[in-house]
């Protein structure tokens, strides 16, 4: 679904038009004076020398541009007219286009006037960010005026006349078509920007709340721990996936962990994510909460394109890392559930373990589908999409390295083998039973040793 279909409310549309009008008001302050100076210079020092026979007739066309551009200049210095910038940009374009049409008409389509008219219409239609309606009105008026001035000057509909209509007309139509695409891109960018501003505002608000506490570290950790328990999905969110049995658990190494997972349901499909911020503690927890907020906001905009979601989250983490000089990165995979057991996945994290009902085990590496989030400004070249399917009774296990790297007193890691050995015997049971079996076996493996990293697991069973 397009972003504009989701967030294009009347209020946002009004804000978009207001922002565009104010931008045009500022553009007018620069372009209109340049246009007047250029037209005045050409009128005084070029027309008389190069076109003495047409000078008087040309002067009328030049006055169109000078008068209308002068009105635009005056408007650009009146603050109360900020919201009318698009109207005065229309007048600016109209004045220049009428001048070009007039010159072509009175000079019998002299080649330089045709080129000038082409240039003005392409710039005005394709680049000047006024509406498609205003651009089309300028084109229609300028052509109507051209017909009048051309035939009133006693010229006939010769080849040069027809070529002018074809060349200028086709260029104008092509530029108008380009404006349609550009307008959609500008609107899409605006709505995306507003959505991200909202997500950033939520993150900033969360950080402000933590700063405002300004008490000793223990209380800060308690606040963050409470927020973490709120943002992690609860069981009532899992059941929204009607044909999936989902069970999750995170055991933080400190009061706050950097492990992250989420489930977001959209009717018959949804988004599932799991990630791990390097290191753990308060800062890792804050990054995890940033990602949670951003993913929740972006998932409402880009329900289909999970690559776009992970690219934007990567940019947020990259900018945050540069701004704070923080060393932390994040592994992150995002799964799009398509319904009927079908998934797509992008990103880089621990491998995916799939247990078939017959006991077969599939270990899918995610190394070829992404990279660490926050490491590079743009991870587009590293992203790819994996498609896989779960049949009824199949089990998908997602986890963080805290489980696989958990060590016992012999410094032996639990590993993926430990997960598989714990899950296989109970694969026919519920997702909750499988999760409990893996966690129990992992904790038994650790014994009395210190837990150095967060332990997180998500079990997804196709029902």
Residues 66 and 181 in one domain: yes
> What is the domain extent for residue 363?
235-462
3-state helix, strand, coil in the chain (%, to 5): 60, 15, 25
Per-residue pLDDT at 325: 86
The residue with tokens 């949804």 is 270
The number of distinct structural domains making up the chain is 2
- Between the CA of residue 418 and those of 403, 406, 437, what are the distances in Å? 9, 10, 11
Which carries the bigger pLDDT value, residue 16 or residue 360? 360
Per-residue pLDDT at 78: 87
Q: What is the DSSP string of 305-363?
A: -HHHHHHHHHHHHHHHHHHHT----EEEEEEEEEETTEEEEEEE-SPEEEE-TTS-EEE
223 occurs within a structural domain: no
Residues 334 and 441 in one domain: yes
What are the tokens at 115? 């080129």
What are the tokens at 98? 């009428």
Per-residue pLDDT at 218: 66
Residues 121 and 262 in one domain: no
Residues 185 and 239 in one domain: no
Q: Between the CA atoms of 219, 221, 225 and 227, what dihedral angle is there, to the nearest 10 degrees?
A: 70
Per-residue pLDDT at 210: 66
- pLDDT band at residue 415 under the 50/70/90 scheme: very high
Three-state SS at 287:
helix
pLDDT tens column, 232-280: 888 888 888 889 999 999 888 765 667 889 999 887 789 999 999 887 6
Residue 213 in this model has a pLDDT that exceeds 60: no
Q: What percent of the chain has pLDDT over 70?
A: 92
Q: In whole angstroms, what is the distance from residue 31 CA to residue 418 CA?
A: 69
List residues bridging with 364 in a β-sheet: 352
| Mean pLDDT calculated for residue range 199-206 | 80
Under 8 Å between Cβ of 384 and 333: no
CATH of the domain at 330: 3.60.40.10
Task: Choose the final residue of a domain: 140, 162, 193.
Answer: 193
Residues 254 and 174 in one domain: no
What totals of helices (H) and strands (E) does the chain contain, helices first? 15, 10
- pLDDT band at residue 84 under the 50/70/90 scheme: confident
pLDDT tens column, 62-79: 888 888 889 888 888 888
227 occurs within a structural domain: no
pLDDT tens column, 295-339: 989 988 877 789 999 999 999 999 999 998 888 899 999 999 999
pTM of the model: 0.54
Residues 300 and 429 in one domain: yes
Per-residue pLDDT at 89: 87
- pLDDT band at residue 430 under the 50/70/90 scheme: very high
Residues 438 and 298 in one domain: yes
Per-residue pLDDT at 226: 67
Residues 308 and 369 in one domain: yes
Q: In whole angstroms, what is the distance from residue 62 CA to residue 67 CA?
A: 9
Residues 274 and 410 in one domain: yes
Q: Which of 1-10, 66-75, 353-362, 432-441 is least confident?
A: 1-10
Residue 3 in this model has a pLDDT that exceeds 50: no
435 occurs within a structural domain: yes
132 occurs within a structural domain: yes
Burial-class residue 388 by CB neighbours within 10 Å (0-12, 13-18, 19+): middle
Residues 189 and 253 in one domain: no
């Amino acid at each position: 679904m397009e972003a504009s279909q989701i967030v294009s409310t009347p209020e946002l549309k009004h804000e978009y038009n207001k922002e565009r009008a104010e931008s045009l008001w500022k553009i007018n302050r620069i372009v209109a004076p340049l246009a007047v100076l250029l037209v005045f210079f050409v009128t005084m020092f070029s027309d008389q020398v190069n076109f003495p026979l047409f000078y008087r007739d040309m002067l009328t066309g030049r006055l169109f541009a000078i008068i209308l551009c002068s009105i635009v200049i005056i408007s650009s210095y009146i603050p109360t007219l900020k919201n009318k910038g698009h109207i005065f940009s229309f007048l600016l374009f109209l004045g220049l286009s009428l001048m070009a049409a007039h010159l072509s008409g009175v000079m019998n389509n002299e080649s330089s006037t045709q080129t000038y008219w082409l240039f003005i219409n392409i710039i005005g239609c394709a680049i000047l960010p006024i509406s498609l309606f205003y651009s089309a009105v300028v084109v229609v008026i300028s052509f109507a005026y051209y017909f009048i001035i051309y035939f009133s000057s006693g010229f006939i509909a010769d080849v040069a006349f027809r070529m002018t209509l074809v060349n200028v007309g086709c260029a104008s139509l092509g530029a108008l078509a380009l404006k349609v695409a550009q307008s959609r891109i500008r609107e899409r960018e605006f709505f995306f920007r507003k959505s991200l501003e909202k997500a950033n505002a939520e993150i900033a608000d969360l950080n402000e709340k933590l700063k405002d506490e300004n008490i000793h570290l223990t209380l800060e950790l308690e606040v963050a721990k409470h927020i973490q328990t709120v943002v992690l999905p609860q069981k009532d969110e899992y059941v929204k996936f009607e044909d999936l049995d989902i069970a999750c658990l995170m055991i933080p190494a400190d009061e706050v962990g950097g492990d992250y997972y989420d489930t977001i349901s959209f009717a018959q499909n949804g988004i599932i994510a799991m990630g791990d911020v390097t290191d753990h503690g308060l800062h890792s927890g804050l990054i995890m909460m940033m990602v949670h907020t951003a993913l929740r906001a972006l998932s409402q905009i880009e329900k289909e394109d999970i690559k776009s979601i992970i690219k934007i989250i990567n940019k947020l983490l990259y900018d945050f890392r540069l701004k704070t000089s923080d060393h932390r990165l994040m592994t992150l995979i995002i799964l799009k559930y398509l319904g009927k057991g079908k998934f797509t996945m992008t990103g880089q994290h621990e491998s995916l373990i799939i247990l078939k009902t017959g006991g077969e085990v599939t270990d899918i590496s995610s190394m070829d589908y992404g990279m660490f989030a926050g490491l590079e400004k743009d991870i587009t070249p590293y992203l790819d999409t994996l498609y896989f399917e779960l049949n009824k009774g199949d089990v998908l296990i997602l986890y963080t390295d805290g489980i696989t790297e958990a060590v016992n007193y012999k410094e032996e890691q639990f590993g993926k083998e430990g997960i598989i050995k714990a899950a296989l015997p109970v694969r026919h049971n519920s997702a909750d039973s499988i999760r409990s079996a893996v966690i129990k076996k992992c904790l038994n493996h650790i014994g009395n040793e210190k837990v150095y990293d967060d332990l997180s697991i998500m079990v997804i069973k196709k029902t």
